[in-house]
Amino acid sequence: MTNPGNIIVTGASAGIGRATAMALLDAGWTVGLIARRAEPLADLAKGREGAVVLPADVTDAASVDRAFEDFVARTGRLDALFNNAGRGLPMATIDEISPQDWRAVVDVNLTGMFLCARAAFRQMRHQTPQGGRIINNGSISSTMPRPGSAPYTATKHAVSGLTKTISLDGRAFNIACGQIDIGNAATEMTERMAAGITQADGSTRSEPLMAVADVAAMVLHMAGLPLGANVQSVTIMATAMPYIGRG
């Protein structure tokens, strides 16, 4: 199988990150697996040619830089990044959210995404041949909030601005940047949505989910485009989830 290129996936130990990393490996990519916990990364990499385990904390600049440098030292270059690591909080109104919890979400969802994009951009800018692609995981919350989600929604709105700026700044260096906004992919994080979650009108209703493999297929498509083409933004969602017309 021809190697389509070398890509790093953050948040690769579970959920969307794990499913996407597996799809990329199955398609022949060399995949750097970043997450804080080494054990689930090693489990994912077991028996899979092309998997590179890179335990790292995306909120720590030195840890991020070491992981990216290690990957390039082992593979030669970086063609793409799926900037996926993220976290949320239990539903609460803004007055019930502590500054510590706010900062914890900002540290992962925004600062972590900045640090990983920064490391990827630096490598892509200076490698030969120059260029690469960054794909940021935004979320439907980058445009439309759920009730009680101030930290998560604020960071995901900010990701949209980060994506557009990287896309603009990357033009001079053959670096493409796009964003995937995901709604209700079936992972551990969305089990509560199937069980029943608060809606904008205050009611609690179960929401439909979609297969996480469909998200992985979309990222695989975005990553595989030639650098002359870019998916600037795409929304992939469970067809009947309450988004169109939400609220």
Active site residues: 152
Question: Which of 59, 53, 120 minimizes the C-alpha distance to 86?
Answer: 59
Cα–Cα–Cα angle for 80, 32, 168, rounded to 5 degrees: 25
Tokens representing 83 are 């900037």
**Pairwise CA distance, residues 98 & 112, whole Å:** 20
**Pairwise CA distance, residues 84 & 34, whole Å:** 10
Tokens representing 17 are 């990150």
The H-assigned helical ranges of the chain are 15-26, 38-45, 61-75, 99-106, 113-126, 150-169, 191-195, 212-224
Residue found by looking up tokens 């030669």 in the block: 76
